[in-house]
Structure 1
Amino acid sequence: MKFLFLAITTLLLPLPSSGQDAVKRDQHQMHRLHNDPKAYMKALEDPKRDEYQKPHEVLTALNIKPGEVIADIGAGTGYFTFRLAHHVGDKGKVYAIDVSPDMIKHINRRIRDTKANNVTTILAEPDDPLLPDHSVNRFFICDVWHHVDDQKKYLALMKKTLKPDGEVVMIDFHKKELPFGPPMQMKIAREDLIKQLEGNGFKLAKEHTFLPHQYFLVFTPK
């Protein structure tokens, strides 16, 4: 999983017009943002993101129970991490997993500032979240999966890590022209993602359609 922490960076980048020049311009914008940590973090926490990401509605739809253990893959600045932590409560736990030391340091500062003792950070390896077997109720993966290089390996690790009746939550951009998001060649079509997970030991359990630019799928092990 190369540069997992970069996944959400593309969320607020306007999608340029089609063609080779457009792709180059989009990549240039991404490069500039990635090399400016302050701008990167600001983009991740831009209040405008709430308008389309609808975090309250997403977490309500998940019906999270107090005491759950959730792995937030590609946690970034903790946009969803601390919201998830509120829902699992003091008896639950959220693993904020990222491959970026800078993002992990940022989340650790937020943990100290907010006294969010139910959040634990993990500086992960590119293709391994470094979690024990049967340790989490849910994997939460928002706008990250298209950055995972060895997806087959990662799916196998997630299946081992889930507790009985666990879930994998996948939210990602539709593969079509959108006002922002990753370049078209990086996007994964909804149908392709479903086929991939169903071919690797999972089944589609639920689907929510209220997000304007993203699909929202929930999978369980077969």
Structure 2
Amino acid sequence: MGFHTFDPERADRLEDATRFRFCSREELLGPLPRGPDATVLDVGSGTGFYTDEIAPFVGRVLALDVQREMHGKYHTKGIPANVSPVTANAESLPLADGTVGGAFSTMTFHESTTPDALAELKRVLTASAPFVVVDWSGDGSGESGPPVEERFDAERARDLLTDAGFTVETDEERSETFRVVARA
């Protein structure tokens, strides 16, 4: 899809704790590596709402966002010491091959997922590293999140990941979101 990004002028909405009803810290953290040696990538970090939830459990989080304004808002909020903002396009990650032990994407898979972006993500992940995706579902009502026509559903996300060489472990459709866990 790749044609919808969140408006930085509305970034305060990203700090709303009611977002946990769509995606919990535990469902992101479960498959991810933990501990002081673990490096994970937050694909589409925005203002760091979910980045901050994962940071206490890993050695380093790379907070990837294509919009410099989002990182500016994250700096204003306060970035944990073990979080490194990375401003880049998902199709051209400034990271070395096989250096990331896991990745997650919350409500941004629809914004940047292309075959090239998934190939690039797979390149930077270590072998068998998990990638956890929770995003707005194309099967949802559209009352929250982007317009329904800009979304994927769990089946399409699974197919995109499989086509990119990931092994999908789980995919589930929920009322407004889907969750997919895949491995590089």
Identify the TM-score tier after normalising by the shorter chain: 0.7 to 0.9
Tell me the residue number matched to 1:105.
Answer: 72
Alpha-carbon distance in 2 for matches of 1:120, 1:144 = 19
- CA 60–141 in structure 1, closer or farther in 2 if over 3 Å, else same: closer
Alpha-carbon distance in 1 for matches of 2:76, 2:127 = 33
1:96 aligns with 2:63: yes
Q: Are 2:172 and 2:178, in contact at CA under 8 Å, matched by a contact in 1?
A: yes
Amino acid at match of 2:62: Y
Ranges of 4+ aligned residues in structure 1 off by more than 4 Å? 1-4
Deviations 1:98-138 (A, max 9, x none): 111111122233445xxx21100111136323221111011
**Higher helix proportion, which one?**
1
Amino acid at match of 2:61: V
Counterpart of 2:164 in 1: which secondary structure? coil
Unmatched segments (≥5 aa) in structure 1: 10-33
Shift of 1:207: 4.1
Tell me the residue number matched to 2:124.
Answer: 161
Tell me the residue number matched to 2:179.
Answer: 216
Shift of 1:63: 5.4
Alpha-carbon distance in 2 for matches of 1:165, 1:177 = 30
Shift of 1:173: 1.8
- Measured on the aligned residues, the alpha-carbon RMSD in Å equals 2.3
Unmatched segments (≥5 aa) in structure 2: none
Deviations 1:43-78 (A, max 9, x none): 1112222233333x3245335411311110110110
Paired residue for 2:27, among 39, 58, 64?
A: 58
Q: Are 1:111 and 1:119, in contact at CA under 8 Å, matched by a contact in 2?
A: no
TM-score under structure 1 normalisation?
0.73
Figure out how many residues of one structure are paired with residues of the other and give that number. Answer: 182
Percent identity between the two aligned chains: 24
Alpha-carbon distance in 2 for matches of 1:212, 1:177 = 6
